[in-house]
Structure 1
Amino acid sequence: MKISSCSKCGSAKIVPDACTYENKGGRLSACVSSNPRAFIFKGFRSGYLKAWICSDCGYAELYVDNAMQLYEAYAASLQPSNG
């Protein structure tokens, strides 16, 4: 759940939805495969990570921009394969 105050120090000085990048400039993302046992066509779904940052203590939490799509891919990965 996105925070309105810091869960570590209680501050309300939160920077919401800060973009996250890796060293080479690409955006950070989380990936889930809907068919991890497949040799190819694993059905990857990914979403960009955004940070919510406390301006007082520096604590940061990450949130993905499409959590339900990632959950649906995860749920599909739990189904028995048809092979």
Structure 2
Amino acid sequence: MKKGKCPKCGSENLDIGHIIGERIGYESDSECYFTGPMREFKVYVCLDCGYAEFYVDVGNQKKS
């Protein structure tokens, strides 16, 4: 969706926003993202079908 089109329905009616929180994050077995407070997910939402994609800033990526 970063390119302006929903991969599910093809709509270009998108909204871009953020999810921000003190304890929100993702951690896999090999990588640790968002290790501190107030990290951010960028979210692309299709306003026609409701499909959403979440992105992390890989610049904030830290090896666990």
Aligned counterpart for 1:57 among listed residues 45, 49, 52: 49
Match of 2:2 in 1: 2
> CA separation in 2, counterparts of 1:61 and 1:3?
12
TM-score (norm 1): 0.52
Task: Using CA pairs under 8 Å that are at least 6 residues apart, name the structure with larger relative contact order, 1 or 2.
Answer: 2
| Percent identical residues | 35
How many residue pairs get aligned? The number is 57
CA contact (8 A) 1:30 1:48 kept: no
CA contact (8 A) 1:3 1:52 kept: no
> CA separation in 2, counterparts of 1:54 and 1:4?
10
Q: Secondary structure at the match of 1:52?
A: strand
* Counterpart residue type for residue 55 of structure 1: L
The reply on whether 1:20 has 2:19 as its aligned counterpart is yes
> CA separation in 2, counterparts of 1:69 and 1:19?
15
Greater per-residue helix proportion: 1
Greater per-residue strand proportion: 2
CA gap of 1:59–1:11, structure 2 versus 1, over 3 A, is same
Match of 1:39 in 2: none
Match of 1:68 in 2: 59
TM-score (norm 2): 0.64
